[in-house]
C-alpha cells in the first residue's frame, strides 16, 4: 500500500527496497552476501524510520533568507548524490538543496533535472510520480566540486590489475550488492568506493606491468591529473621470496621499492644492479605499521604483515632459477610484483605519496598449481583488508 504526503515517494522506494532485500536474505546461501544484505536491510529500516519521523517541509513560499536556485546547484547536488548512493530521485535532490539553504520547489527541481538528464545522458526511470536518476555506465561527468567555502576531502586512488585484485577491493571497501558509482574522465573509468577515514577512496584498473598503454605508469599519471590525490596505492597480489619463512596470504608492504631489471653487465658478465631503490610514503608506512601492531595485540583474525624491500619489474616471474638469482642479488627482499615501479615513477614526479600493499599468492615458480585461484583470492583479500583497516583509522592528509 502506497503512503501519502511529502515523503511518500522516498518512503515507498525505501519500503520496496527493504522488501526486496529481505526476500534476497532468505534465499541467499553465501555468507558474505548475507552479511552485506543484513547491513543494507538495517540501512533501509533506518531510512524508513527517518522519513516517517521527519515533519514535512513548510509551504513553498520563498522566505527572505533562502538562496535562489540555479541549474548549476541542481547539477552539483544530483552528481554528488549519484556518486555517493549510486542513484537519486527528484525528492532527494530537493531535500538536499533545501538543507543547504536553497529555495527549491519540486516543480523547479523536476524541470531542471529533466534538462540535465537529457544534456548529460543520465538514465531515468519513473517511480511513483517522480524519477530515479542514475549515471550511465561510462559517464563523462567530472567529480563534483565541494560547496563554496568548504574544502574537499583528500583523495586516495587505488590501482589493481587482475580480476581477483579488483573483486577484493570492491568487496572490502564497498560490500555487494550495492552498485559501484563510476566516473569516466578522458576515457579512464573510476569506481567510487566512498569515504573512509575522512578520505575519498577512488579505484582504477590498470594493465599488467609498469610500462605500456594503460599500465601502471600511464594510469597513475592519469589519476594524478584527474583527481589530484594525496596518495596512490597499488594493492593486490605478489610473489614471495621464501616459502620456508613466509606463507600464502601474507601481506607485503613496501618500505622500499627496487627496480630489479635495470643493471650493468661488465666484462666478466657480472650483473651489477643499477635500478632505483625508492622509499615509500612515510605517512602511509607509519599508519600501516601502527595498524598492524594494534590488530596483532588484539589477537583477532588478522593476516601476517611484513614490511621491507619489494622488488618490481616488467617480467611475470615463473622460474625457480630466476627467483634464486634475485635472492642472491637482493637477499633482504621480501617479495616482488610488476606495477609498483610505474606507480612510484609517476607519483614521485608529481610529489604524491605512494605505497605498494600486496599479498603473497605464489613463490615465483610453479604457478600452475590447482590452488592458484584460491591463493590469489586469499592474497588479494588480505591486502585489501589490511589497507582498508589502516585508512579507516582517520585522515592522513589535510583537506584542500
| Residue 139 belongs to some domain of the structure | no
Out of 104, 134, 164, pick the residue that ends a domain: 134
Same domain, 32 and 166: no
Q: Residue 163 half-sphere exposure, CB side, CA atoms within 13 Å?
A: 2
**Residue 337 to residues 78, 152, 273, 276, 331, Cα–Cα distance (Å):** 40, 33, 17, 15, 16
Q: What is the mean pLDDT of the segment spanning 103-119? A: 84
Least confident of 23-27, 66-70, 340-344: 23-27
Number of independent structural domains in the chain = 2
Same domain, 86 and 219: no
Same domain, 245 and 201: yes
CB-based contacts of 47: which residues, under 8 Å, 6+ apart?
14
Report helix, strand or coil for 14.
Answer: helix
CATH number at residue 100: 1.10.10.10
Same domain, 199 and 82: no
Least confident of 116-120, 236-240, 269-273: 269-273
**Residue 321 to residues 209, 326, 380, Cα–Cα distance (Å):** 21, 9, 26
The answer, yes or no, to whether residue 260 has pLDDT greater than 50, is: yes
Range of the domain at 97: 8-56+65-134
The answer, yes or no, to whether residue 276 has pLDDT greater than 80, is: no
Same domain, 99 and 37: yes
Amino acid 31: pLDDT: 55
pLDDT digits (tens, 9 = 90+) for 31-78: 555 655 666 676 677 677 666 654 444 444 555 577 888 888 889 988
Q: How many CB atoms lie within 10 A of CB 80?
A: 18
Instruction: Give, as one character, the DSSP assignment of residue 46.
Output: H
Q: What is the mean pLDDT of the segment spanning 250-272? A: 82
Amino acid 240: pLDDT: 96
Same domain, 17 and 111: yes
The answer, yes or no, to whether residue 150 has pLDDT greater than 80, is: no
Same domain, 302 and 368: yes
CATH number at residue 170: 3.40.50.1580
Out of 134, 169, 186, pick the residue that ends a domain: 134
pLDDT digits (tens, 9 = 90+) for 231-256: 999 999 999 999 999 999 999 999 99
Same domain, 326 and 178: yes
CB-based contacts of 363: which residues, under 8 Å, 6+ apart?
239, 240, 241, 243, 323
Amino acid 38: pLDDT: 65
Same domain, 116 and 185: no
Give the cell for residue 195: 569515504
> Where would I find the H helices in the chain?
8-27, 31-53, 71-85, 90-99, 106-120, 163-173, 216-227, 282-298, 320-329, 340-349, 372-392
Amino acid 79: pLDDT: 84
Q: Beta strand 188-196 with 305-312: parallel, antiparallel or unpaired?
A: unpaired
Give the cell for residue 40: 543494507
| Residue 2 belongs to some domain of the structure | no
| Residue 179 belongs to some domain of the structure | yes
Q: Are 353 and 259 in contact (CB under 8 A)?
A: no
Quote the CA–CA distance of 230 and 357 in Å, as a whole number: 17
Q: What is the mean pLDDT of the segment spanning 93-105? A: 85
Report helix, strand or coil for 370.
Answer: coil
pLDDT digits (tens, 9 = 90+) for 154-174: 999 999 999 999 999 999 997
Phi, psi of 377 (to 5 degrees): -60, -45
| Residue 397 belongs to some domain of the structure | no
| Residue 148 belongs to some domain of the structure | no
Same domain, 47 and 190: no
| Residue 398 belongs to some domain of the structure | no
Based on its alpha-carbon atoms, the radius of gyration of the chain, rounded to whole angstroms, reads 24
Amino acid 58: pLDDT: 47
| Residue 28 belongs to some domain of the structure | yes
Same domain, 357 and 247: yes
Amino acid 30: pLDDT: 58
| Residue 143 belongs to some domain of the structure | no
Out of 134, 166, 185, pick the residue that ends a domain: 134
Amino acid at each position: 500500500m502506497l503512503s501519502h504526503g511529502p515523503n511518500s515517494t522516498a518512503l515507498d522506494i525505501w519500503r520496496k527496497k527493504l522488501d526486496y532485500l529481505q526476500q534476497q536474505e532468505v534465499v541467499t546461501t553465501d555468507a558474505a552476501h548475507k552479511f552485506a544484505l543484513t547491513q543494507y536491510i538495517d540501512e533501509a529500516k533506518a531510512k524508513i524510520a527517518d522519513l516517517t519521523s521527519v515533519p514535512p517541509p513548510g509551504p513553498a513560499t520563498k522566505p527572505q533568507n533562502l538562496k535562489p536556485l540555479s541549474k548549476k546547484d541542481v547539477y552539483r547536488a544530483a552528481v554528488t548524490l549519484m556518486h555517493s548512493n549510486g542513484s537519486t530521485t527528484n525528492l532527494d535532490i530537493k531535500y538536499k538543496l533545501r538543507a543547504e539553504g536553497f529555495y527549491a520547489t519540486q516543480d523547479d527541481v523536476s524541470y531542471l533535472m529533466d534538462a540535465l538528464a537529457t544534456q548529460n545522458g543520465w538514465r531515468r526511470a519513473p517511480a511513483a510520480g517522480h524519477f530515479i536518476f542514475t549515471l550511465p555506465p561510462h559517464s563523462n561527468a567530472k567529480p563534483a566540486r565541494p560547496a563554496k567555502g568548504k574544502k574537499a576531502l583528500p583523495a586516495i586512488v587505488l590501482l589493481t590489475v587482475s580480476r581477483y585484485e579488483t573483486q577484493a577491493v570492491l568487496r572490502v571497501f564497498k560490500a555487494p550488492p550495492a552498485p559501484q558509482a563510476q566516473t569516466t574522465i578522458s576515457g579512464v573509468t573510476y569506481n567510487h568506493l566512498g569515504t573512509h577515514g575522512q578520505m575519498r577512496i577512488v579505484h582504477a584498473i590498470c594493465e599488467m606491468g609498469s610500462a605500456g598503454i594503460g599500465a601502471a605508469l600511464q594510469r597513475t599519471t592519469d589519476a594524478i591529473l584527474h583527481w589530484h590525490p594525496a596518495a596512490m596505492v597499488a594493492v593486490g597480489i605478489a610473489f614471495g621470496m621464501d616459502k620456508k619463512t613466509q606463507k600464502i596470504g601474507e601481506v607485503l608492504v613496501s618500505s622500499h621499492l627496487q627496480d630489479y631489471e635495470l643493471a650493468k653487465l661488465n666484462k666478466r658478465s657480472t650483473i651489477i644492479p643499477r635500478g632505483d631503490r625508492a622509499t615509500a610514503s612515510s605517512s602511509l608506512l607509519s599508519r600501516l605499521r601502527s595498524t598492524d601492531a594494534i590488530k596483532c595485540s588484539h589477537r583477532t583474525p588478522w593476516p601476517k604483515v611484513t614490511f621491507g624491500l619489494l622488488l618490481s619489474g616488467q617480467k611475470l616471474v615463473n622460474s625457480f632459477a630466476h627467483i634464486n638469482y634475485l635472492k642472491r642479488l637482493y637477499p633482504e627482499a621480501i617479495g616482488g610484483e610488476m606495477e609498483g615501479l610505474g606507480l612510484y615513477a609517476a607519483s614521485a614526479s608529481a610529489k604524491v605519496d605512494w605505497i605498494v600493499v600486496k599479498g603473497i599468492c605464489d613463490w615465483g615458480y610453479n604457478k600452475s598449481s590447482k590452488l592458484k585461484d584460491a591463493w590469489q583470492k586469499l592474497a588479494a583479500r588480505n591486502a585489501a583488508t589490511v589497507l582498508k583497516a589502516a585508512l579507516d583509522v582517520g585522515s592522513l592528509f589535510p583537506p584542500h
